[in-house]
Structures are given as structure tokens and as C-alpha cells.
Amino acid sequence: MTLLQKLALLGAVLAAVYQIAPGEPAWMTELHPPPSPGPYESLQFVGGDGVSKLSGRLHRPPQAENERDDAATLPVIVMVNGLGLTQDSNVTPYRHAFINAGFAVITFDFATFGYSDGWPRHQVKPQHHVADLKAVLRQLQTKSDQWTLDNNRVALWGTSMGGGHVLTVAADVAADELPIKAIVGNVPHVKSALESVVGTIRRDPLTGLTGLLQVTGALIKWAISQLMKGETTYIPLHGPPGSAAMMQNPADDEGYSRLILEETRDSGWTNLASVGSVVPTLFYRPYNNVGNIEIPTLLIVAENDTLCPASAARDAAKEITKARLVTLPGIGHFDVYNGEALHAILKETVAFLKEHV
Ligand SMILES: *[C@@H]1O[C@H](CO)[C@@H](O)[C@H](O)[C@H]1NC(C)=O
């Protein structure tokens, strides 16, 4: 074969992959208008890139509504979403428990999600999310008087990937820069998603490899699309095993769906993640730096978690000086948002936050 023939063959193969590989086009062209005012104060943050406007909300404890003068002493919990979720996703029971325990709660949407700007939509790059979280925390420090919050009594709560971001920020940020009193990693992402993919392939090789092939095809299609058209493509955030979805362990599809509400979709939310942000996610490993964490840390772990394995969080707990590890037996990653498990977790979490914040 001559070089020209080889190049023609390669071109034909890539064209074929482009045709059959998964990859959806972008679906949003402008931000949806924000919802009518709810039982919270709308906030706006500048994102970690220094430009994006992030949509945020401040929820105050019910009893504080009538006594604004005393509100300056309110401790505050910043809540950090899981991968692909928005402030309108169903982690509502946690928020309610925190405000009912007397904490103010700040929620926000990462850039490219929910009511925050940033294009193309739905980029899940961990380093960008960490930068957004740090930016939010810095603005909380400077605006706490205006918002009548106590900037010396701040805690971070993060679930799933958000739990990973909380660990990363706690490991990176000096106490004098951002006084954080406690952090909670709720079924946190600790080691790299690659390790979780390997686990999936071990448990069910055929389905696991099918999924891997689909995602690999999607990456090739994305690369071609970037090169030829400068456009990103999308794969599902969650889906059945063997699909092209980012999260595709047996319980992921149904479990993730339970976190999506009508309100989540009102912002234009669709079950898609920008393929270009998948690779950095695969290599994101908060575990590498957890040894630096000196802040009291609560890790809530689901024994049968296949997405963020319990063993990874247990390893992290050994590295963190002031770690408390709570393991919920017999449940999976998405079983921490309702039922008995939720009840037990809320009790542990609120007690921990009250003690340290
Ligand atoms: C959960 O994990 C434990 C320990 O690995 C195992 O003994 C148990 O059978 C698992 N339960 C379920 C429901 O998978």
C-alpha cells in the first residue's frame, strides 16, 4: 500500500467511526430565564475563570427570617453538587436538614450548568469546578457582612463528585486564606474514575468492554468534530450498562434519574455531558492530596457503592488527620438520598456540623 492509500484508508475508517459512534450535538443556544423567586435570596458569583456569572442561592433557617438583626451570627454550609447536577436537583432533604438545624445554606450552579452561564454547556471538567468552588468561597468571605453570615463559621458539604471537590479544596487551601471549619464528603469521589471502570470490567467483562468501546468511539467522534467544525459533542451523563454514558454501573441509570426533578429540567438540563470534559474526569483523583487535609472531615460511605467505591474513601480516611468515617451497610451510591439510609446520614452529618462549625 502506498502512503496515499494508507491515508485514504485511515480517512475512510475515521469517517465510518464518525458516522456510527455516539455523540449528540449541542442542544441549548441561550440560558433559560431563572425561576420565579423562591424561599431564598438569589446571589450571583463570578466563576473561577474570572468571567462566568454563576447563579447562587442563599437559604436561611426558618427562624432567622423574622430576626434579621441576629442573623449576622449565622454559620453557613456551602453545598456542592454531584457530577452533572444543578442546585435544582433532588438533594433537597439535605438542604432542609441543614437549615432546620440553624445553618444558612449556599448553593450554586457550576459554570455551563443550570442558570450559570458558560458555553458549550455541560462541561464537567473537575479543575474548572474546583476553581468555581474556590471563587464562591472567596466571595463569601468578602460579602458575608452584606449577606449577614459569619465568615468564620463555614463548612463545605459535597456529594459524589462534589465530595471529591470538597476534599480537593480542603487539601489545597490554607486555613488563613479561607477559614473552613469542617467538610463533609457524602459518598465522595476519591480515586480516579478509571479505577471504577476497571472494577466494572472485572465484574462484567462483556458489558464493561462494550461500554468502554462506545465511550472510546464517542471520544474519536468528538476529536474529529473539534478538528473539523470546532464543535463539541455530547454523551449521556447516565445510562444503562454497556451504553455510551459516563455513569453506567447497574444502578446508576435509575439512581441518577431520581435526582432529576421537573425544576432541574426547567433550566434546560438534559442528560448530556460534553465529551471533551470526560477525559479530565477520568484522571481526577482527589486522593492524591488528602494527606494535606487538616480540617475535621466526615466521610459518609455506602458499602456497596460501585461508582465511588467504599474502599477508596476508607483509604482517604486513613490519610486525613481528623477524619470520621461512617459506613452505611448494604446500600449503593444512589441510595443515600432517601429512606432509612438518608435518615441515618442526616443525623450523623448534622451532629458533626454542629460540633465543628
Ligand atoms: C455489600 O457488600 C458486602 C461486603 O462486601 C457484601 O457482603 C454484601 O453481600 C453486599 N450487599 C449487596 C446488597 O450487594
Cα-to-centroid distance, 6 and ligand 1 (Å): 52
Cα-to-centroid distance, 332 and ligand 1 (Å): 10
Q: What pTM did the predictor assign?
A: 0.95
Q: What is the mean pLDDT of residues 229-233?
A: 95
Span between the terminal Cα atoms of the chain, in Å: 70
Torsion 151-324-185-57 (CA) sign = negative
Residue 69 has pLDDT above 60, yes or no: no
Minimum-distance ligand 1 atom for the alpha carbon of 331 = 13
Pairing of strands 323-328, 297-302: parallel
Q: Give the percent of the chain with pLDDT over 70.
A: 97
Ligand 1 binding pocket mutation candidate from 304, 305, 334 (most atoms within 8 A of CB): 304
> What pLDDT digit, counting tens, does each position of 271-315 carry?
999 999 998 999 999 999 999 999 999 999 999 999 999 999 999
Cα-to-centroid distance, 303 and ligand 1 (Å): 7
Q: Which range, 16-20, 70-74, 266-270, is most confident? A: 266-270
**Cell digits of residue 231:** 464543535
> What pLDDT digit, counting tens, does each position of 97-125 carry?
999 999 999 999 999 999 999 999 999 99
Residue 49 has pLDDT above 70, yes or no: yes
* DSSP strands (E only) in 145-269: 149-159, 182-186, 234-235
* pLDDT of 173: 86
Torsion angles phi and psi, residue 42, rounded to 5: -80, 135
Nearest CA to ligand 1 atom 11: 330
Helix (H) and strand (E) counts in the chain = 11, 10
Q: CA 199, CA 205: separation in Å to the nearest integer?
A: 10
Cα-to-centroid distance, 255 and ligand 1 (Å): 18
What residues are in contact with ligand 1 under a 6 Å CB criterion? 303-304, 330
Cα-to-centroid distance, 197 and ligand 1 (Å): 19
Q: What is the mean pLDDT of residues 52-81?
A: 83
Q: CA 175, CA 352: separation in Å to the nearest integer?
A: 19
Cα-to-centroid distance, 191 and ligand 1 (Å): 21
Nearest CA to ligand 1 atom 12: 330
> What pLDDT digit, counting tens, does each position of 188-208 carry?
999 988 888 888 899 999 999
**Cell digits of residue 331:** 446500600
**Mean pLDDT, the chain, integer:** 94
Minimum-distance ligand 1 atom for the alpha carbon of 329 = 1
How sure is the predictor about 67, in pLDDT bands with cuts at 50, 70 and 90? low
Nearest CA to ligand 1 atom 7: 330
* pLDDT of 196: 84
Residue 71 has pLDDT above 60, yes or no: no
Residue 66 has pLDDT above 60, yes or no: no
Q: Give the percent of the chain with pLDDT over 90.
A: 90
* pLDDT of 342: 98
